[in-house]
Every structure is written in C-alpha cells, then in structure tokens.
Chains A and B, each alone.
Chain A
Amino acid sequence: MPSAKPLAITGYSVLNALGASREAVLDALAAGRTGLAPATLPLPFETAAGAVTAALPELPAALAPWSTKVARMAAHLVAGIEPALAKARERWRPERIAVLMGTSTAGAEATEQAYKTYVEEGALPADYDFRRQHTYGAVLHVVGELAGARGPAWMVSTACTSSAKPFASAQRLIAAGLIDAAIVGGIDTLCAMTLQGFHSLGALDSRPCRPFSTERAGISIGEGGALVLVERDGDARALVEGVGESSDAYHISAPHPEGQGATDAMARALAQAGVAPGDIDHVNAHGTGTRLNDTAEAKAIAGLFGGDVPVVSTKGYTGHTLGAAGATEVAMALFAIEEGFVPASLGAEDKDPAIALTIPTATTRGRFRRVLSNSFAFGGNNVSVIVRGV
C-alpha cells in the first residue's frame, strides 16, 4: 500500500459518559474516573453502562421532526467543532465539505421506544417518523444542515469499526480531488436491544468492563460520539497519517483467534503512514474486555510491536460505544498527543499473564508523538488509524 498524504486535523469534539466537552473528558481520564455505572434501562439482568448524562441542545425548529437523542447528540458535537468549521467554510465551498460518519444503531433508540408503545397501545407515537428518526440518513441530514456542509454524505455502518472507516473514506475522496474537507466521526446511543443482544451472546460483563484483566468477563456498552474535521491541508492540530482496513474472513461475531485481521489492519496503517512499528509511541487498543478479543488483539499487537509500547483500553472509562468507538478512540489518541499523557487502562490491575503487553495501570506522562488506534467489529471488520502530532 503506497504512502498517503496526511490529512490535517483542524478540530474535534467528543461526547460520552465522561462528559460533554474535551476538558471534561480529559479531567476524568487524568483522574482515572470511570463513567460507567449500573445501567438504568429496563433489563432482565444487571450490567454497567456508560450513559451520556449531559444536557443536550434542542434542534432548531426547522429540524424538529428529526429530533431524537442521537440527533441532539450529533448537534452537540457539531457545535463543538464549529470554530474550526467556520474557518473551513471560509476556505472551501460547502459542496467540497463532506459528512462521512459511522453508526451501528442510528435511530434504533427512538424506534425501540416507539415500537414498545406500538406493542402496548396498538399505535405508534404521533410524532414518530421512521424516515426522519430511525434511518441512517436522518443524522446525516441534521449534521449537514447544522454544519453547512453540502458535499457527499454517507453513514458507514460496519458495527464497531463504523466511525473509524470514514477516516479512510475521507483520505480517498480528498486524494481523488472530489472534496477538500470532511466531517468524520460517529455516534451511537444506548438501546435495550443492543444490551440484550450482547447479553444473549454472553459478551456482557455484569460489572464495569475490565479489559486485559485475568478476571475480564465481557464488555460494558456506552454511548456517545466524536467528530473530527479533516482537511486537505491547513492549520493542523494533528495529522491522520495512515488508515489500515482488513477483514478476518473468519466468523461473523468472533475475532480470528490469532488476530490475523488485526495484524493486517495495523500493518496496512503503518505502510500507508510510511512508518515502522518502532515509530508508534502508544496504542489505544480496541480492548473490549471479552476474553476472545483481548487475547487475539494482544497477540497481534505483540507480534507487530513487541511488548514495550504502552497499550491502553479506554473502554473502562466510556464503555464500548460501538459505532462511535473508532472516532471516540481517535480522539483519545489525540489527547495523548496534545496533552502528553496516557490514562491508566482501567480494570487491568490484575493483568492476564497471557497478555504479553505493557498495560499501564497508572497515568503515564511523556511525549506521545504518534499513536495507533484499533477498532474491530462484527463481520470480522478491522480498522487501525495512526495519528501524529505536528
């Protein structure tokens, strides 16, 4: 894979169980404070979840029919990158700014509530609108309108890699000369259906997740999102240097046991960035807390990077935000670069001896110039993103 011209990251925003701003999330990470708490959704079992508790803005009146939690979360994230967007709109025509996002649930949170009403009362809520509140296109419409972006717009939905893949889509569209800038990222909300689904797979921990721990027993689901404004060039805070994409071709819901697809994705990201494994200062792991994922990912990381690079899973803070995880964890990688610290990998104190990696369990301060972030998904879909400081 040939090296690609890096993309300039000119702004980003985050929203998750840790808070609704970059500063709030950073404070929680630095303090080692989790956002996970007992789930409050109606469930026939106990589990922890990372819920967004911040107040969300109402949409403008013209977008009121699109108003769902996921849309309001998206509106909050757009507002977070508005200063950078304003500059981008001065540089590029609106039709040269794309909206390339990812989600796994889209409006499922609204639909599951509406469908519950339908089952119990025989009619959907009067204000429920499938096309404007459920579909993948609904959030795209809201983001495009609020951001003033008129370029190509699509929602990737490849489960837990959904919001990592748009970084590669933006690279290709910019390289092809089709756009100059893109709002990339993703968003997902907590749904009872998702929690029950992962419970049915035996993949949900009853306690807050413990990635890389001997006692790890599954994931904790979270909600949230992140948006990153990338541009052809410009006043960059950091750069997207490489994105590697691969498939396991192994199983629909279990990773390749040796982490073959994960290795391929990381190696392709390195090749595209034109850097060696030794040039990576930190890995933000997919690190879900399931026995299979963490073991396979650890083999892949150790095989490519050895055991010395600090590897952290931030899912102990936010939960697994599913379709939003890729972009959320690129933001975590940017925090490491910009703030010079890697948070403790929560829950990893009793590290599995089979995990031959350096998993910090306390905040690590230092210079992290180049960071790789992993995302792996149902379908055997894998993405690794490398970001670098400037």
Chain B
Amino acid sequence: MNAIHTIITGVGVFAAGFANAGAWSAGAPDATVEAPTGEALDKRSRRRASRLTRALSDVVAEAAAQAGADLSVVPTVFGSALGEADTMIGLLDTMWREKAALSPTSFAMSVHNAASGLISIAAGNRGFTTSLAADYDTPGTALLEAVGLALADDLPVVVACADEAAPRDLVPDAERFELLAVALVLARPGSPAAANALATMRGPVFEAPTIVGAPARDELARNPQIGLLDVVDAVLRGRSGVVRLDRGRGRGLAVELGAP
C-alpha cells in the first residue's frame, strides 16, 4: 500500500484515571477521574449519551481545541470495534428478561453512529461524519478513512476511536477491557490547518514497528484502541519511528511518526 503523509495537529485521550492527553503523558493517574463528562455535548444530548459517546465527545473536544479545528465544519471519523454494545445488551435484557417494551431513546442510542450524530448535532456541523468498525484494525482503518479525507480538502480531519468494555455476559473475563477513547486531528501537509504541527505521520501502512507500545495495565492494553493511544503517547514524547496500531492482534497496520 502506498504511504500518505499527513500532519498531526491535535490529540485527545480519556481513560480511567486520565482525563486528557496531558494527564496521560504525565503518567500519574488521578483516581477521581472515573467517567467521561461529555461536556461538549448540549445538555439534552449529554443526558442521552452513553459513556462511550461522552468519552468520544471529550477526546474530540480536546484534540480539536489543541489543533484549533472548528468542530462546526471539520469532517469527523469515529471508530469503535464494538460500538454501543452495552446499550444493545440493555435492550435485549428488556426484551428477553423483562419482556417489556423497549425505550425509544435507548433504541435510537444503540446505533454505532450515536456519537457521530450527537457530536455533529452539538457542533451544528452539517458536513461529513462517519462511524466505522474493523475489530482490532479499527484504529488503522479509521486513520485510512481520515487520511483519504485530509487529502481531499484543506480542512483538518478529526479521527476519534473508543471502545467500552465488552458485554460481561458475552465475553470471557480474560478478554474484557476497560473504556478507552483517543482522538487525533490530521491535516494535509501544506494546508493552512497543518500550521500547528505536533508530528508528521506516514501511513497507515503494513510495516514492522520500531516503537514499542506504551506501558499500560492489561485491562487498557486489551482495548482495541490501544494502538491509537500508543501513537498519541509517542507524539507527546516526541518519539520518531513506526508504531503498530493493533498491538499484534489485527492485520498489522502501522504509522511512522516523525518530528514536525
């Protein structure tokens, strides 16, 4: 696969103990940070939003603010391997266990693109947004969709990936993970949006990694989005090299990071 070059201009992170990318890079977890806030959502949307959607909203807002990206116009790409699986299990419980009518709000919020929709509504963005999944290749493929968009326009592109713990009843404990959300803002080299460069990025491509993933507890490291956290970690530490986006569980997509 040919390699595409883009510029990373913003990053965002949410994980338990880490409210933002700065907290992650500082390496000191704050036990009071347990849940994402969804502050950037309007009040009505925030009330309806799942933890997953709130986390995505938080990291999108953080990355966009750092990049100076206007969320009312920029394209957004959302990735999640499982999407709103917890919401779906809640609906199945209602249907099979309680034998009750489904909540229309819960049903509307069970779609994979709930975050994409609510964040576009909150920002008043009538442009492009999408939501995709590809198992452990979700970070790599979300970046591929984003670089395609970045090349097509002068606007920066926000790519945000998150996964919530897999449903407890359906997945063995050894495979479960905890909530992680990560966002990047990408811009085409030479475009006005590329001015605030944090790092250069080549790819995604299929290449062997030269940078080992950041240390993370098992419950975080099993999250399908851990590779994107490795990218952000390398960017924040100013490291250059190839970062694998799937930690060996997917097809091997990676990006090469360099100094801006």
Contact = CB atoms under 8 A, between A and B. Distances in A.
Interface of A: 44, 95-96, 104, 106, 108, 111-112, 114-116, 118-120, 124, 130-131, 134-138, 140-141, 151-159, 165, 169, 172-173, 175-179, 192-193, 196-202, 245-253, 260-261, 264, 377-381
A138 B124 CA distance: 34
A152 B175 CA distance: 25
B102 A134 contact: no
A96 to B, nearest CB: 8
B113 A157 contact: yes
Interface string B113-143: 1101110110111111111111111100110
Interface string B191-207: 00000000000000010
A380 B92 CA distance: 25
B133 A137 contact: yes
Contact of A176 (B93, B110, B151): B151
A198 B81 CA distance: 24
A158 B85 CA distance: 15
A159 B82 contact: no
Nearest to A193: B91
A58 to B, nearest CB: 23
Contact of B133 (A120, A154, A248): A154
A252 B2 contact: no
B4 interface: yes
A267 B148 CA distance: 21
Contact of B117 (A115, A124, A176, A379): A379
Task: Determine which residue in B89, B92, B117, B169 has the highest number of CB atoms from chain A within 10 A of its CB, and name it.
Answer: B117
A197 B102 CA distance: 6
B104 A247 contact: no
Task: Determine which residue in B81, B103, B133, B137 has the highest number of CB atoms from chain A within 10 A of its CB, and name it.
Answer: B133
5 closest A-B pairs by beta carbon, nearest first, are A379-B117, A137-B135, A172-B148, A197-B107, A157-B112
Given A119-B96, A140-B134, A157-B131, A169 B145 contact: yes
Given A247-B120, A252-B117, A201 B129 contact: no
Interface string B155-179: 0000000000011011100010000
A137 B134 contact: yes
B149 interface: yes
Contact of B127 (A120, A135, A247): A247
Contacts of A111: 88, 92, 170
Contact of A104 (B4, B102, B103, B112): B112
B102 A157 contact: no
Contacts of B152: 172, 175
Contacts of A198: 107
Contacts of B88: 108, 111, 193
A378 B96 contact: no
5 contacts: A115-B96, A245-B128, A249-B120, A379-B120, A380-B120
Chain A contact residues: over half helix, strand or loop, or mixed?
Answer: helix
B147 interface: yes
Contact of A173 (B101, B125, B144): B144
Contact of B2 (A108, A169, A178, A260): A178
Task: Determine which residue in A96, A151, A175, A176 has the highest number of CB atoms from chain B within 10 A of its CB, and name it.
Answer: A176
B109 interface: yes
Contacts of A169: 130, 145, 148
Size category of the binding interface on chain B? 35 or more
B81 A200 contact: no
A64 B45 CA distance: 41
A95 B1 contact: yes
B213 interface: no
Contacts of A202: 104
B208 interface: no
Nearest to A250: B121
B212 interface: no
A115 B169 contact: yes
B204 to A, nearest CB: 8
Given A172-B149, A178-B1, A196-B102, 6 more contacts: A118-B169, A137-B81, A169-B130, A178-B148, A200-B102, A200-B107
A379 B111 contact: yes
B132 A178 contact: no
B101 A196 contact: yes
A173 B2 CA distance: 10
Task: Determine which residue in B92, B109, B110, B151 has the highest number of CB atoms from chain A within 10 A of its CB, and name it.
Answer: B92
B166 A158 contact: no
B92 A247 contact: no
Nearest to A253: B108
A251 B121 contact: yes
Contact of A158 (B45, B113, B151, B206): B113
Contact of B97 (A119, A152, A155, A177): A119
Contact of A151 (B1, B114, B130, B147): B1
B103 A200 contact: yes
Contacts of B214: none
Contact of A152 (B104, B117, B144, B171): B144
B51 interface: no
Given A104-B111, A111-B170, A115-B96, A176 B4 contact: yes
Nearest to A379: B117
Task: Determine which residue in A96, A130, A248, A377 has the highest number of CB atoms from chain B within 10 A of its CB, and name it.
Answer: A130
Contacts of B167: 130
